[in-house]
Structure 1
Amino acid sequence: MNENLLALIQLCDSNFPTGAFSHSFGMESYIQEGVVYDKDTFSKWLSLYLHNQLVYSDGLAARLVYEALEEDKLAIIWHLDRLLTVQNFSEETREGTVRIGERMLAMVESLFDAELLRSYRERIQKKQSFGHPAIVFTMVGYCLGVEKETTNQLYLYSAIVSLVQNAVRAIPLGQTTGQKIIYEYQQEISKAVKVINQLSENDFGIVAPGIERSQMAHEQINIRIFSS
């Protein structure tokens, strides 16, 4: 296997220190409401989250970022950074995503020497950009020469792995059950990437109202183990 591909896969490890383990992105709201409580109900929620939020936000943005990098149009990336942040109505989820993006950027800068990453960091420090994990991950994939579709697929995979590990703790699910879900979702991720490849910029920001509601409702939960 290509060493650069292996380097990108390293970012998919649930132990990669981005702070994603602290965020459920609305899942915990459904757990407390009794909607998500076992493997089947979690898998249903995960499918909705993947195909009705990630595809039209992070996933589509990642594809557009990669294409902008190919055309050396950085202004498009900075615009997508803003869109990804301001279209996220839940304050907890919005701020949590920014923190994950900043931590991921700090970590990958210590691993990879890339002017592109430094430029992104400088923009964030100057309050010109917010920072988003989908953008950081895609920048790394591009700099390593990993193909666009593979980079997008791995980003979605990293998001799914993180959510499954959080569900293992919160529902709770057994580790074996969690690994079975990750295995089952490999095909779902491939389907999601195919959809992303067919979308236009006008499709960006389409999300399921129920998921947005759960993310905003999380702010009112009194007893919780996640920040969002």
Structure 2
Amino acid sequence: MSPIGDRPAIDPLLWLLQISDSALPIGSYSHSWGLETAIQGDRIVSAEQARQYLAGLLHQAIAPQEGAACALAHAYALRHDDRAFIALQAHLTAARWAEEPLKASLDLGQRLHRWAQSTWNLSCPETESLHHCAAFGWLCAEAGVGGADAVRAYLLGSMTNLVSAAVRLIPLGHSCGQQVLAQLHSEIAAVVPNCLAAESGDRLHNFAPLLERDCQAHRHLYTRLFQS
């Protein structure tokens, strides 16, 4: 579809629900972010172990890095601070040393951006690299979505994709997977304030060395269902 001429009226809630849907054609469902390696290594074999693993990733890696970056990008969009947004991309690139998740983050960011441009005439500042979490935050601000809601939606989407991978890999029943996701709601709510309190890109952090190892080892698995 070619870009539409005028920006259509946007209902922020409906827009947020659509952009957060795993059916959005950007390929988020095709990544396990190292979870496939952990499951093949028999370190996650039950729903409870999956819940504990994902809660740890949320608190130690996803929220303080990607969630905070989403919040920062949203704030930069409200201030029309293109320079800070572009600098944020460099921080996010430097924070990922495993090749597969770095490429996945950039691919998802570019696809999300292209979809927003072609469907809604929304765009991010021009930059050589565009990470998914930052694109999500900036575009949410452009669509009129509040910062806290943008972060909640981004984190829930991240957990949803990981639970979906666990359902297919462990495997778990779909109802069991949804129960795991529901149990993570309170964990997500607990980390949102810290994400919103981020002051700059150089304050992003994560501490999940085993995850990085699993991401790096993923390419060497004998069989793989996921791209990362």
Under a length normalisation based on structure 2, what TM-score does the superposition of the two structures give? 0.89
Cα distance in structure 2, aligned partners of 1:100 and 1:72: 23
Percent identity between matched residues is: 27
Show CA shifts across 1:115-171 (max 9, x none): xx1x54xx3xxxx42121112211221012111111111111111111111111111
Alignment of 1:135-146 (within 5 A): 135-146=134-145
Alignment-mate amino acid for residue 215 of structure 2: Q
Preserved contact between residue 59 and residue 196 of structure 1 (Cα < 8 Å): yes
Note if contact 1:11-1:158 (Cα within 8 Å) is conserved in structure 2. no
Alignment match, 1:102: 110
Report Cα offsets for 1:9-54 as digits up to 9, x if no partner. Answer: 1111121111111111111111011001110111111111111111
The answer to whether 1:14 aligns with 2:26 is no
8 A Cα contact 2:89 2:134, kept in partner: yes
Partner-residue secondary structure (3-state), 1:158: helix
Counterpart for residue 98 of structure 2: 90
Deviation at 1:210, TM superposition (A): 1.5
Q: How many residues align?
A: 218
- Given candidates 68, 71, 81, the residue that maps to 2:79 is 71
Is 1:112 the equivalent of 2:123? Answer: no
1:1-228 correspondence runs (5 A)? 3-114=11-122, 117=123, 120=125, 123=126, 128-201=127-200, 202-228=202-228
1:77-108 deviation per Cα after TM superposition (whole angstroms, max 9, x unaligned): 00111211222110011111111111111222
Q: Which runs of 5+ in 1 are unaligned?
A: none
TM-score normalised by the chain length of structure 1:
0.89
Question: Counterparts of 1:159 and 1:69 in 2: how far apart (Å)?
Answer: 22
Structure 2 CA distance for aligned equivalents of residues 193 and 15 of structure 1: 24
Aligned-residue offset at 1:199: 4.0
2:45 counterpart letter in structure 1: Y
Q: 1:26–1:211: 8 Å Cα contact kept in structure 2?
A: yes
Q: Offset at 1:223?
A: 1.1
Larger helix proportion of the pair: 1
Asked if the contact 2:147–2:196 (Cα under 8 Å) also holds between the matched residues in 1, the reply is no
The 1-side partners of 2:137 and 2:87 are apart by 15
Measure the CA separation in 2 of the matches of 1:110 and 1:73.
Answer: 23
Question: CA–CA distance in 1 between the matches of 2:173 and 2:150?
Answer: 29
Runs of 4+ in 1 over 4 A off after TM superposition: none
